[in-house]
Structure formats: structure tokens, C-alpha cells
Amino acid sequence: MVVGLLFFSVLAFGQEVYKWVDEKGTVHFSDDLGQVPEKYRNQIQKETPPKEPPPVQPISPPPMEPPKPMEPGKEAAPTSGPGQKDALGRGEEWWRAKAIEWNQKLKTAQRSYETTYNEWKAKEQELQASISKPDSFKRKLKAEIKDLEEKVKDWEKQMDEAKNMIENVLPKEARDYRANPDWLKIEEK
């Protein structure tokens, strides 16, 4: 980048620039022919500035910043009605899709938690009943129990995350972005 900027800044002042590649493949630039090593002078390329400056590329505007959270005690009126949008231009469909997504994640985590928990408890009962079984069998059961216990903990974390999103995060974001809180309500089927 630095070499490129140096190269173009020299071009801007209308000087000739000499370009060469050394034996390692490194590209070098200089505006002084005396700085080009003798063994590379036969391969130098002269670069001259263009007659007209290149067209300026438009700079895209910075991304929209989220609105500042409301001051305590001050509530913005949420938008409502057909075609209404939040502060970032997102409508009811966007917010409802987010609520549905997190509700589905919660239901999936709950079902998986229940299944895994039941498997875990069944394996513990099997271990207690295996008094006369070989030690290798008991070690295998203990490893399975430990694995199931970890899975139960993971499903608990996922349930907690989904509950937090549904009960706290999404409603707070809806308030911050001035979205209608009713957009987050899901009709049970």
C-alpha cells in the first residue's frame, strides 16, 4: 500500500518513476535513476503521469447508526398500522420473523433438553443396576453419562439464551428502534 501511495503521489507531481523487479520478485519504484541498481537498469519501466487525473470514485455513505436509546422516563411512540417501519426502516414482517426464529429455537432446545435429560437419567439407572457387570461395561456407561450430562448443560444454555432474547433483548431493541411491541407477539397454533 505504501509503495502504491508513494508511486501515485510521485505521478501526481508529474515526475517519471522507474519500476523494476529484483531476483526475489519484489517490485521497486524510484523517481531517481541513480537509485536503480546497475543490474536492473536494463529492465526498468518508466511510468509517466496521465494527462488527466483519473475519475474520482464516489465514496459510499457510512452505514446508518442505530438510534440512541431513549432517556429513562421518555418513551417514543412506537409506530403502528400498515406500512409502518421502525427507525431503521424495518417493518412488522422483519420483527415478527425474529420473534418466530427465537421461539422456534426455544422449542427445539426444550424438546432436545427433555430427550437428552431422559436418556441421561436412564443411563444413570442402568449404571446403578449394573453391580454385577464387568468394570469395562461400567466405565463405558460412565463415559456415556458424562457425555449426556454435557449435552443437557448445552441445551440448558441454549434455552436460557432463547428465553433471554424473547423476554429481554428483542423487546429492548424494539423500544430502542421505535418498533411496535405488538410485532413481537406470536400467535400460538
Please give the chain's pLDDT, 189 residues, in tens: 665 655 555 445 556 777 878 888 888 878 787 888 888 888 877 766 555 555 555 555 455 455 555 554 444 444 455 678 988 888 888 888 989 999 999 999 999 999 999 999 999 999 899 889 899 998 999 999 999 999 999 999 999 999 999 999 999 999 999 989 888 888 765
Which residues constitute the domain of residue 42? 2-47
Determine, yes or no, domain membership for 55: no
Could you tell me the end-to-end alpha-carbon distance of the chain, in angstroms, rounded to an integer? 58
Q: Are residues 103 and 19 in the same domain?
A: no
Question: Is residue 99 one of the residues assigned to a domain?
Answer: yes
- CA torsion 20-24-27-29 (nearest 10°) is -60
**Structural domain contains residue 61:** no
Q: Are the C-beta atoms of 17 and 30 separated by less than 8 Å?
A: yes
- Asked if 172 and 102 sit in the same domain, the reply is yes
Q: Are 161 and 101 in contact (CB under 8 A)?
A: no
d(CA 157, CA 39): 67
Domain membership flag for residue 83: no
Instruction: Evaluate whether residue 116 is within a structural domain.
Output: yes
Same domain, 25 and 96: no
Q: Do 117 and 172 fall into the same domain?
A: yes
Cα distance between residue 84 and residue 102, in whole Å: 23
**Helix/strand/coil percent split, the chain, to 5:** 55, 5, 40
Strands (E), 36-155: 45-47
Distance between CA atoms of residues 169 and 175, nearest Å? 10
Number of structural domains the chain divides into: 2
Q: Is residue 10 part of a domain?
A: yes
- Residues 100 and 184: their CA atoms lie apart, in Å, by 8
Burial class of residue 177, CB neighbours in 10 A (0-12, 13-18, 19+):
buried
101 and 24 belong to one structural domain: no
Q: Is residue 85 part of a domain?
A: no
- The answer to whether residue 6 is domain-embedded is yes
Output the pTM of the full model: 0.55
